[in-house]
Amino acid sequence: MKYTLFALIFILFISCSKEKEVDYTAKNEKEIVAYIAKNKLNAHRSTSGLYYVINELGTGAQPNANSTVTVAYKGYFTDGSPFDESKPEGISFGLQQVIKGWTEGIAYFKEGGSGVLLVPSNLGYGSEGRSGIPGGSVLIFDVKLISVQ
More confident residue, 128 or 7: 128
| Catalytic (active site) residue 99 | yes
Q: Which amino acid is at 143?
A: V
Residue 110 region, left (φ>0) first, then alpha (ψ -120 to 50), else beta? beta
| Catalytic (active site) residue 13 | no
Q: Which residue among the candidates 24, 35, 73, 108 is catalytic per the annotation? A: 73
Percentage of residues in the chain having pLDDT higher than 70: 86
pTM (2 d.p.): 0.86
- What pLDDT score was predicted for residue 22? 83
Q: CA-CA distance, 109 to 100, in Å (whole number)?
A: 15
Q: Which residue among the candidates 24, 36, 52, 99 is catalytic per the annotation? A: 99
| Catalytic (active site) residue 125 | yes
Sign of the C-alpha dihedral computed for residues 25, 31, 35 and 37 taken in this order: positive
- What pLDDT score was predicted for residue 19? 53
pLDDT, tens only, 41-92? 999 999 999 999 999 999 999 999 999 999 999 999 999 999 999 999 999 9
Q: Which residue among the candidates 54, 83, 93, 133 is catalytic per the annotation? A: 83
| Catalytic (active site) residue 108 | no
